[in-house]
Structure 1
Amino acid sequence: MIRLYVDEQGTDTLTNLDQDKHRFLSLTGVALNREYARDNLVPAINSLKGDLFNEDPDEPFSLHRSHILGGNGPFHKIRTDDAFKAQFNQRITDIFVDTDYKVITALIDKQWMVKQWHWERRHPYHYLMEILVEKFAQYLERAGDIGDIMPESRQKKDRLLQSEYARVRAEGTQYVDSARIQSVLRGGSLKFRTKRDNIAGLQLCDLLAHPSHMFVREKMGHNVNRSAFSTMVGNILLNHGKYDRSASGKVKGYGYKHLP
């Protein structure tokens, strides 16, 4: 059983699309064998938290990119102690490199999307979920396995994401029909979880989603400002075989896809 952990980068709103921070939306999925995640990723993340932050096992916390960057809660030392920051970066980098997973990122330019007047559906989730389900189903077929999908809960947005998943699963896509999708994604419901659930796969996905988003935008020819850490993570995803790819090694269309 392979689980796709999903996180969102950007917002689904269709206002202020002239502003770069509102214009682009992506969904990133991190595919992990469920038993492998339990036996390898969970201990690795728990070890990092215990060694560096002395995490109380009865009061666990999640690795969350915005909290780390903001130095919030247990992460304050990352902002104030350069040696500690370097130690944290090395430990998390080791997890990025050593863990066995595949990444699929689907990204849409919403400003471009709203100009496609002939398109019947007007919500970006429609297109992103279609790409993500299609690519994950194809990955599962190549892996000879079945899977499910666990997104981070966005509360009110969960219903919309679930409805789009159900639609794609029922109707299929241009390239993968519904029978193929349902043969590898047998459950009709997404497995939403929150940060409070302390899911290791979602924490890994949270940390990879923004660097992957920026990597894809750079591939689209955008003039993006990628931090040194984001660039390093993007290089890991590309050069260490973390992006899904074809048998010939092609990443575009497998590990990432963008519209347009």
Structure 2
Amino acid sequence: MNFVPPTSRYRLYFDETGNGDLDAAEKHPNERYLSITGVVVKQDTHDGYLTRRMNRLKEDIFGAQEVVLHRRDIMRSEGDFVALRNVERRQEFDWRMSSIIAECLIAAFTISIDKLEHKQRYKVWRYSPYHYLLECLLERFVLWLRRNNFQGDMLGEARNPRHDKQLRRAFTYFYKHKTGMVDSQMIQARLTSKDLRLLPKEKNIAGLQIADLLAHPCHRSLKFEQLGEAIGPDHGTYLVGLLRRYWYDRNPNSGVISGYGTKWLP
């Protein structure tokens, strides 16, 4: 693959909510689902404009650009985020994050799986739910790249050596083989690397933090839609509304998001 400069490279930053343990889905209702969300940003936009805006936001609200945004701690207003206990600070933070997401993303995808249904349906096939989601996410990213005549790569958060090794192996397998939706020639023409990049949270990557903030509300919205239940209004619901309005990939002819920007499994 020839070098693709940042001005022409589109990077998918992804994060998950839940875990890949199939057995836990039967024992604990709160562990029934696993979901992965990816957001696409043009690399030069990410490394320049988007990162500068995130740094200004952190400096203004938390007093330090080195703060790494993590949704769970933000929701609890704990640790570095105690400033969010102030209502006005919280409103300013939410508004400015919404503006960044509305202005800087290019595309978004959310794939969720009901692990319990997956296990009950497939008595023999035990494909790792996490790797299954990763493959579905990659398929949609490659198809989006092809449709727009773009090239790109992916970046996720490093977890632990065992998890990261398995994830990199699954990515490399995808890169070399066809799937139900894309063949290896298309994959290799659109992805700029056969290797998956994973960086630790401490690297303070803006795109990974946005994926972290969106992963849970995106899954929650997709789950409630699948169950036919109403979801209450909050900031997470508002952010998902932005993705549905602007960034979730969709059928270019019908405008339908399901199957393109979102996918429910199995």
Q: Is the 1:114–1:122 contact (alpha carbons within 8 Å) kept by the matching residues of 2?
A: no
Partner of 2:6: none
Partner of 2:118: 113
Instruction: Give distance in 2, aligned partners of 1:222 and 1:210.
Output: 18
Partner of 1:173: 179
Partner of 1:45: 54
Q: Is the 1:25–1:109 contact (alpha carbons within 8 Å) kept by the matching residues of 2?
A: yes
Structure 1 pair 227–157 and aligned structure 2 pair: CA distance change class (3 A): farther
- Structure 1 counterpart of 2:104, which letter? T
- Aligned-pair distance for 1:227? 5.7
Instruction: Give distance in 2, aligned partners of 1:208 and 1:95.
Output: 13
SS in 2 for 1:214: helix
- Aligned-pair distance for 1:145? 1.4
Structure 1 stretches of 5 or more lacking a match? none
Q: Is the 1:214–1:226 contact (alpha carbons within 8 Å) kept by the matching residues of 2?
A: no
Instruction: Give distance in 2, aligned partners of 1:194 and 1:82.
Output: 31
Q: Is the 2:61–2:83 contact (alpha carbons within 8 Å) kept by the matching residues of 1?
A: no
SS in 2 for 1:104: strand
- Aligned-pair distance for 1:23? 0.6
Instruction: Give distance in 1, aligned partners of 2:107 and 2:122.
Output: 35
Structure 1 pair 222–110 and aligned structure 2 pair: CA distance change class (3 A): farther
Could you tell me the TM-score, scaled by structure 1's length? 0.92
Q: In the alignment, does 2:155 pair up with 1:146?
A: no
Partner of 2:205: 199
- Structure 2 counterpart of 1:28, which letter? T
Q: In the alignment, does 2:164 pair up with 1:158?
A: yes
Q: In the alignment, does 2:24 pair up with 1:16?
A: yes
Q: In the alignment, does 2:239 pair up with 1:233?
A: yes
Q: In the alignment, does 2:33 pair up with 1:28?
A: no
- Write out per-residue CA displacement over residues 9-62 of structure 1, whole angstroms, 9 at most, x where no aligned residue: 11111223143320100111111110111222101101101112221x5xx121
- Aligned-pair distance for 1:225? 5.7
Instruction: Give distance in 2, aligned partners of 1:20 and 1:32.
Output: 34
Instruction: Give distance in 2, aligned partners of 1:202 and 1:26.
Output: 15
Partner of 2:227: 221
Instruction: Give distance in 2, aligned partners of 1:30 and 1:216.
Output: 16
Partner of 1:123: 128
Partner of 1:95: 100
Q: Is the 1:26–1:213 contact (alpha carbons within 8 Å) kept by the matching residues of 2?
A: yes
Q: Taking every aligned residue pair, what percent have the same amino acid on both sides? A: 33
- Structure 2 counterpart of 1:48, which letter? L
Could you tell me the TM-score, scaled by structure 2's length? 0.90
Partner of 2:215: 209
Instruction: Give distance in 1, aligned partners of 2:22 and 2:230.
Output: 21
- Structure 1 counterpart of 2:197, which letter? K
- Aligned-pair distance for 1:212? 0.8
Q: In the alignment, does 2:251 pair up with 1:246?
A: yes
- Write out per-residue CA displacement over residues 197-241 of structure 1, whole angstroms, 9 at most, x where no aligned residue: 0001101111111111111112212547656112111111112x1
Partner of 1:134: 139
Structure 1 pair 76–201 and aligned structure 2 pair: CA distance change class (3 A): same
Instruction: Give distance in 1, aligned partners of 2:58 and 2:122.
Output: 49
Instruction: Give distance in 1, aligned partners of 2:81 and 2:259.
Output: 36
Q: Is the 1:214–1:224 contact (alpha carbons within 8 Å) kept by the matching residues of 2?
A: no
